Structure formats: C-alpha cells, structure tokens
C-alpha cells in the first residue's frame, strides 16, 4: 500500500510511520513542522520506501495517488494548541477536508486521529464512545476540542455521502520516546523536572485523573482499527487511571529523583477525570494495552535523559 501520514513528524505520527514501514508499506509523510520535528524521522533518512513532504495540509495539496490517508496533523498538547490556536482550528477543519478529498479522489481509505478531548470535562465516567461529551465550545481548549469534533463530523459525512471507507480513533493521553520535552504535557514536564532535580509542577491539588497509554500500545490499537470495518469513533487508550499526584510519584520512583512537588493554579477547563472504556476495542479488535505506566516510563527513560541533556537547563 502507498500511505500518506499527515503530522508524521510528530511524536505519535512518527511512530505510526515506523509501524507502517515495518508492515512493508511505502509512506509519504506530510508535515509543516509547526510542532513536528525532523529528528523524529532522522532514522528514516535512507529508507527508500519513505518520503517527506514539507506541507501545511490546511492548504490544498496533492501528493499523488494514495491508498490510505492517516490524518494525524495537529498541535496536540495544551501548550502547543493554545500557542497555535488558529492553526489548530485550520488543520482540524480545512486540513481534514483536504485529506478527506484526497481519499475520495483516489478511492483510498481515511483514518482520523481524534481525541478524548471530544468528551470535554466528562460527566460520564469512564468514557464510552456513545457519550457525547461535555465540552466548553468557547473556552481556551475549544480550539482543539471543537476542531476535532468538527473533523469527526466531516469524516462521518464523507463516509455517509461519498462512501469513503473511514475510521476514527479517540486517542487518550499517550507518552513514550520522542515526546517533545517542552510540550508542557504532564509526562514531559515531570520527567524533565525530575531528571533536572527541579520541583514537579502539580496543577491544582493533583487529584484530577488521566489514563496514560504507552506509544507502542497506542500504535498497535490504531493499526488494528485501521484494518477493521468499524467506521464510528473507537477509544484507544490505557484504562488504568492515575491521579496527577500518583503520576508524579511514579515519575519520582522511575527516575530515582528526590525532587519536591510545587503546586500551581489549575488551567481553565482542565478536565477533572479521564479514563477510556475500551470494551469496544477489546470486542472488535481483540486489542488491549500491555504496558503499565511504570514500565512505560522505564522504557522512555533513556530518551528523556538525552532530551534533557540536549536542551540543557535553560529550556
């Protein structure tokens, strides 16, 4: 298969490129490098089945015939999408429409990277795909939440009206090597701070929860879903839930750091809780995560150590 991965220079997109290449496909990655980084693809420099296209996918573009479009382009951490608010809205709306048009034009399949953010600050717990969510449409996070909700609507419309073979994954917090050290996410911040001996910045009282999925588990779920006949959104994430304080404790243990905690204000509309119900993925795909948080942090430790060295103490 000839596959297009938008956002392939990002953390998750680059791992997806690796997995698709390992399955024998040829891959073209389109990325404007707004938050993606060429170093995530450096190991593919000499790979003949891989090509990189520096391209803002919110602008119309045509990479030639593709059999499958994986639309992963978007700033995805709160720090990144708040800094790049307009671009985030554009890539979720215009970018999704451009990518859907490509799939339609070439008779290819389409796969949307959506997000647990579609559930907003959820009133139903854990979150099943059938829950419509509780998202603030005009708050600071809305640039991400609403663009992904629009992208889901567009994807379903191309499926219904143009019979494009589409798939939608709702991704829950994912971490692992290549996570951008300065993206402000909780795992990148805590790992960086712990390795530097700085205080871990806990927002609010740290009782809010997240469920963290190691990147290889996430990619395995995404690949399984991409080969399925399922068109409606499917949660792929790790259902083991941690408070942010428990997450801080896990990072301190794995890094062996004696950093202290420092409490800072909770950002506006920060979801109180988040845990995927993965019953549908288990049933449909026979998929479930295999790597728990402490194991995943151990597997990521060398990456974070070298990333911290490269960025020094000023970043």
Interface residue list for ligand UDP (CB under 6 A): 77-78, 173, 184-186, 189, 201-203, 208, 210, 244, 266-267, 270
Residue whose CB is less far from ligand UDP, 77 or 127: 77
The question of whether 119 is a catalytic residue gets the answer: no
Marked catalytic residue, from 106, 144, 158, 175: 144
Residue whose CB is less far from ligand UDP, 67 or 139: 139
In the bound complex, what is the minimum distance in angstroms from residue 184's beta carbon to ligand UDP?
6
- Residue partners of 48: CB distance under 8 A and separation at least 6: none
In the bound complex, what is the minimum distance in angstroms from residue 200's beta carbon to ligand UDP?
7
Residue whose CB is less far from ligand UDP, 81 or 158: 81
In the bound complex, what is the minimum distance in angstroms from residue 272's beta carbon to ligand UDP?
8
Residue whose CB is less far from ligand UDP, 226 or 259: 259
| 113-116-118 Cα angle (round to 5) | 90
In the bound complex, what is the minimum distance in angstroms from residue 276's beta carbon to ligand UDP?
12
The catalytic residue positions are 144
């Amino acid at each position: 298969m000839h596959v297009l991965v938008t956002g392939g220079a990002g953390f998750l997109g680059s791992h997806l490129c690796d997995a698709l290449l390992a399955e024998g496909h040829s891959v073209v990655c389109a990325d404007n490098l707004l938050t993606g980084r060429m170093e995530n693809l450096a190991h593919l420099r000499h790979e003949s089945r891989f090509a990189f296209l520096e391209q803002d996918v919110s602008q119309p573009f045509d990479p030639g015939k593709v059999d499958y479009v994986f639309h992963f382009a978007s700033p995805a951490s709160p720090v990144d999408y708040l800094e790049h608010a307009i671009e985030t809205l554009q890539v979720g709306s215009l970018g999704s429409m451009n990518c859907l048009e490509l799939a339609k034009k070439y008779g290819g399949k389409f796969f949307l990277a959506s997000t647990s953010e579609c559930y907003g600050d959820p009133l139903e717990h854990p979150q099943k795909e059938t829950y419509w969510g509780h998202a603030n449409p005009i708050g600071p996070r809305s640039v991400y939440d609403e663009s992904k909700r629009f992208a889901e609507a567009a994807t379903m419309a191309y499926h219904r009206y143009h019979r494009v073979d589409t798939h939608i994954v709702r991704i829950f917090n994912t971490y692992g090597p290549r996570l951008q050290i300065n993206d402000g996410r909780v795992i990148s911040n805590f790992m960086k701070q712990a390795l530097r001996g700085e205080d871990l910045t806990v927002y609010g009282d740290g009782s809010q929860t997240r469920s963290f999925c190691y990147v290889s588990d996430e990619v395995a779920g995404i690949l399984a879903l991409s080969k399925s006949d399922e068109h409606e959104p499917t949660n792929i994430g790790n259902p083991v839930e941690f408070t942010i304080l428990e997450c801080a404790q896990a990072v301190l243990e794995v890094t062996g750091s004696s950093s202290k905690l420092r409490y800072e204000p909770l950002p506006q509309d920060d979801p109180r809780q988040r845990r995927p119900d993965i019953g549908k993925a288990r049933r449909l795909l026979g998929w479930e995560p295999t790597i728990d948080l402490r194991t995943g942090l151990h597997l990521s430790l060398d990456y974070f150590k070298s990333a911290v060295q490269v960025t020094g103490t000023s970043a």
